[in-house]
Structure 1
């Protein structure tokens, strides 16, 4: 369907929004068919007041300049009116102004659905209507995933078109219903109606609540008003309880951490209560930096099954709301406690459960038996002898299980439906990766590598959070005609969530890299849908986004006259102490003072950024640099790197034995013997010569301090990426990559070096997640915004604001 592919907004005043939609075919009218306006004309002064854009000239049409959603402009013709009417007849059927109607489509297609918002006679006597469109799910970004949506549900839009009166096919019976109405109540309310509407669909691609009765809405220049004023948070609201977060596919926690920082800038307390990831090293990193978070190192699908089983156990033991039940004091599970003093070790075959320590769903014993398991501390034994036991094997321990469930419920070790305010995370979709030669473009949802998207939405449906934020690579918009995107949006809308799509480039928010990521906001039907933040920095947005979705890039096509200069590599890393390819220290002193404001702020301590320090380390207040160690290249690669000259843009083409032709294709210099490493392998490997048909400059490429890095990679090998330090013979270190992502230096990482690179590369940049958290806080405080939000701060300056905000809470609401 062509309507709304580009949303247009009139730049001249006062015409209303004009769509770039194709006009509907004019239907030939039989002589014996009754067709015309049957009311008296609207009084001239009233018509000119209600529809001033129709009375600017006596010509048949006037031309206005409109700006399309992709930033381009074009001239549009607007019919001028002689008079307006409120009633018309088509095929002997009377239509009133603001009636809903089917509008004739091309042969073989379903008729369009619209509300008649104008009836007018043009200056040359033609009978026209202006229609404001309803969209079926298949005509939105949901596309072929429309099976997820009730076939009777349509979505109102702000897109309008002028059409001949004769294009009306028949009346449409559409009932406006409140969001989130129960199915039984909806069926009863529908009664004699064919369709229902409970949400608005606006471009570029957002589903939101209908804020007014669309049948009796006040009109401004013929357009229903949907924007509400921004509101300020009152001092009383600042005492509101914290917002609990479940971070799914959490990695090392950059996304949820940044969201919390951004929200705190407006006085909102967002706390990551639960986090789940399959990678144990990432979980270790998150737990260190967020010691109060319940971090679960498990598969998300097993976590989903555990949530359902946990709800069953809480129901079985009737623990919900059971605050008055007395519990015996429980011994702490300290590292030192091995065997209880004075307890006789039982003889072989006799075991008694002392206490239950943990619960999981899966197969922790690798016995090919999947189910609910409890971690058991046996009486007379220590932690080294703890075992995972299936729930069926603990049938004689009903009281122990009940006690564990009650304690777990009170401690909220697992969330129940309604416990989670906000779910964030990026479900991995390896099935869409360009590196996957076997990806299924016809049925991507059947690919097991994309199944985590289904799991993510299943967890959302089960827990029913107030808000969700999903992140993914922009390939999700390119692969298989964006079926996975359509599925994600369709699932949310089918659950009566509002939804908004956007693409953010990290460099546009203050870090020296250009990586773009796709985001999907979701908000419950009674909540305000958060907006996206406008860019704060100049940056070249690198990355391929197909034309259909370019309007999703936040700030795309808009002029920003007060953007800060782009952050450069040197701004972020020029203060880092020199290290070598073989450096293996996890901690070291800085050795020198910061050289830029970026470096000064990124060095802030945990106490200043997060409000707490590492209680386990006596010297945690001292400035220690973590993770400044590079991936150790093998001897051959190290020799190659040492031969690459130390200037920006140098690469394998600068090595001896290589010729570059006039077509920029590289080849070996056959006039000399091929240079070799000490191992005997070629100094210039064959893969570098053949990469991208010999035209690439990436293998063993050296960065410059004035560079903006294309992206932060998960694999630190320099074979097909520009990763070499500007003036040292090594790849960028873990901490240098972390700075490119906006990680504060105090955010410590765990695991082998390669694993730390993966955690950084998979993370959402702090420069992106902090503004998103600020936008969420705005929504929490009642700001209903129809356009992206201008930020009152930039990264990393916002890190320096945190300490003063905590010290002076009364100023939190002064913004």
Structure 2
């Protein structure tokens, strides 16, 4: 067997997508982002990988190739989540000064300079509704013009064993005329991973309490926890955010699965006192042990989503959010707490990344093995 297939991660953040590829036995060469704290997290999670801490406009493909002792076309897979929403000929508000459009142009420049065999792009589902889907077609055309056959599909995180309702649009393709396969679902409503499966073994915390020594106080209560605790000796990032007194008073009325509707009218925030009962269904939501999480965002603010612990009167910690995103416990998030939540919320769940990587791996290995056999003939 030859060397492990290679992957590079653009707009990598904490590196959830490439971490999944690493778990599928890819060699993560490096990542790029302009976010120093995320770079610390990425480097900690990806041993022997290089983090390029700079705007993508300053990133040069020939420097990456030189650093990795590769030639153009050697890289097996380029992954990442470039901002794509503004990059459409049908977006009449677009201009040459639109940062998101220009960032995607920079992504295409790196594609040209590295010329990877495979491409994986991740984006939010909102991209499908912009210009009646023309953004997706524009991206597909840009990549087709570069020799890539691209397919696009919306994947549901819960279908792959992630305890969260999260939908993401994935662009998957290659320039080597290889078949494109999508990961098969591993979970259904009968065996979805739950909040209990994901965080029930973590130490209890009071509102605003910081975990002292990070000791695991309980044994894993599920296979999910057993897998996520592998290679971890302690718990990090498990500090409860400090909620104000009025929020703590509100939490006392919210039952598991409940929301702002459980809060007495006089305790509601002024902006919500006139809200319809059918509106804002996730605000001040308390998780249920036997349910899944709503989408983990970059700010697990109880005013905006269902981020209240199922039993404890507090918001979920960075570690609990990371567990719900499928990050292993050995991945420590650096920076201040706000930056840590941003890194977790922006990430592609590693479990989903691994599922995608495993659909690519057999083709890459088959081609490499064929090449090795040809050399020995």
TM-score (ref. length: structure 1) = 0.42
Q: How far 1:424 moved relative to its partner? A: 0.4
For 1:67-466, what aligned pairs fall within 5 Å after superposition?
238=1, 240-262=2-24, 264=25, 270-303=26-59, 306-307=60-61, 310=63, 409=66, 411-412=67-68, 417-429=72-84, 441-444=91-94, 446=96, 447-466=98-117
Q: 1:640 to 1:301 in 2, by over 3 A?
A: same
Q: Secondary structure at the match of 1:626?
A: coil
Q: CA deviation at 1:599?
A: 1.3
Corresponding residue for 1:494? 145
Q: Evaluate the alpha carbon distance shift between residue 695 and residue 294 of structure 1 in structure 2; reply closer, same or farther with a 3 A threshold.
A: closer
> For residues 416 and 274 of structure 1, do their structure 2 counterparts lie closer, same or farther at Cα, with a shift above 3 Å needed?
farther
What corresponds to 1:70 in structure 2? none
Q: CA contact under 8 A between 2:156 and 2:166: conserved in structure 1?
A: yes
Distance in 2 between the 1:576 and 1:639 partners? 24
Q: For 1:507 and 1:736, how far apart are their aligned partners in 2?
A: 16
Distance apart, 1:475 and its partner CA: 0.9
Alignment partner of 1:476 out of 118, 127, 138: 127
3-state DSSP class of the match of 1:624?
Answer: coil
Which of 234, 242, 266 lines up with 1:632 in the alignment?
242
Q: Structure 2 residue aligned with 1:735, among 296, 316, 319?
A: 319
Q: Does 1:748 find its partner at 2:332?
A: yes
1:769: Cα distance to partner?
A: 0.9
Q: Give secondary structure in 2 for the equivalent of 1:296.
A: strand
Q: 1:459-490: CA deviations, max 9, x gaps?
A: 10121111111111111111122232112111
Instruction: Give the 3-state SS of the residue equivalent to 2:238 in structure 1.
Output: coil
| Other structure's SS at 1:275 match | strand
Aligned mates of 2:231, 2:177 — CA distance in 1: 35
| Conserved? CA contact 2:285–2:306, under 8 Å | yes
Shift of 1:648: 1.7
Please, what is the CA RMSD of the aligned residues?
A: 2.5
Unaligned runs of 5+ in 1: 1-237, 265-269, 312-407, 433-439, 540-563, 607-622, 659-673, 675-682, 784-815
Bigger radius of gyration: 1
Provide closer, same or farther for how the CA distance between residues 491 and 599 of structure 1 changes in structure 2, counting only shifts above 3 A: same
**SS of equivalent residue, structure 2 residue 169:** strand
The separation in 2 between residues aligned to 1:252 and 1:577, in whole angstroms, is 24
1:719 aligns with 2:303: yes
The answer to which structure has the higher helix fraction is 2
Counterpart of 1:574 (choices 200, 208, 217) is 200
Aligned to 1:531: 181
Q: Gapped runs of 5+ residues in structure 2?
A: 368-377
> Displacement of 1:445 after TM fit?
6.8
Q: What are the superposed Cα offsets for residues 304-358 of structure 1, whole Å, 9 maximum, x if unpaired? A: xx346x59xxxxxxxxxxxxxxxxxxxxxxxxxxxxxxxxxxxxxxxxxxxxxxx
Q: What does residue 355 of structure 2 align with?
A: 771
Q: Say if 2:129 is the partner of 1:521.
A: no
Contact 2:85 2:135 in 1 (8 A): no
**Which of residues 251, 261, 266 is equivalent to 1:653?**
261
Shift of the 488–431 alpha-carbon distance from structure 1 to 2, 3 Å rule, reads closer
Matched length: 364
Once residues 655 and 703 of structure 1 are traced to their aligned partners in structure 2, the CA distance between those partners, rounded to angstroms, is 15
Aligned equivalents of 2:82, 2:291: Cα separation in 1: 31
Q: Deviations over 1:160-212 (max 9, x none)?
A: xxxxxxxxxxxxxxxxxxxxxxxxxxxxxxxxxxxxxxxxxxxxxxxxxxxxx
Contact 2:122 2:171 in 1 (8 A): yes
- The runs of at least 4 aligned residues of structure 1 exceeding 6 Å deviation read none
Given the alignment of the two structures, is residue 644 of structure 1 paired with residue 253 of structure 2, yes or no?
Answer: yes
- Structure with more relative contact order (C-alpha pairs < 8 Å, separation 6 or more): 2
- 1: CA distance, partners of 2:343 / 2:294: 18
For the 8 Å contact 1:702–1:722, the answer to whether it is kept is yes
Quick one: structure 1 residues 766 and 691, their matched pair in 2 at CA, closer, same or farther if it must change by over 3 Å? farther
Query: Residues 5 and 364 of structure 2 are in contact (CA less than 8 Å); yes or no, is this contact kept in structure 1?
Result: no
3-state SS in 1 of match to 2:83: coil
Q: 1:575: Cα distance to partner? A: 1.1
Q: Which residue among 271, 279, 293 is the counterpart of 1:709? A: 293
1:583 maps onto 2:202 in alignment: no
- 1:374 alignment partner in structure 2: none
- Judge conservation of contact 1:258–1:769 (CA < 8 Å) in 2: yes
Is contact 1:703-1:723 (8 Å) kept?
yes
1:699 and 2:283 are equivalent in the alignment: yes
- CA separation in 1, counterparts of 2:212 and 2:95? 41
Cα distance change on mapping 1:419 and 1:635 into 2, 3 Å: farther
Change in 2 beyond 3 A, CA 1:457/1:596 = same
Separation in 1, partners of 2:208, 2:48 = 35
Describe the superposition over 1:363-396 as per-residue Cα deviations: whole angstroms up to 9, x where unpaired: xxxxxxxxxxxxxxxxxxxxxxxxxxxxxxxxxx
1:498–1:523 CA contact under 8 A, matched in 2: yes
- C-alpha spacing 1:419/1:631, structure 2 compared with 1 (3 Å): farther
C-alpha displacement of 1:652: 2.7
Larger strand percent: 1
Could you tell me how far apart the structure 1 residues matched to 2:331 and 2:276 are?
37
Shift of 1:694: 6.7
Residues 452 and 479 (structure 1), Cα distance of their counterparts in 2 relative to 1, 3 Å cut: same
2:144 match: secondary structure: helix
Deviation sequence 1:655-678 (CA, Å, 0-9, x none) = 23x2xxxxxxxxxxxxxxx4xxxx
**TM-score computed with the length of structure 2 as normaliser:** 0.89
Partners of 2:240 and 2:180 lie apart in 1 by 39
**Structure 2: distance between partners of 1:272 and 1:591:** 33
Tell me, in whole angstroms, the C-alpha distance in 2 between the residues paired with 1:739 and 1:757.
Answer: 12
Change (3 A) 1:736 1:445: farther
Query: Whole-Å Cα distance in 2 between the matches of residues 295 and 448 of structure 1?
Result: 22
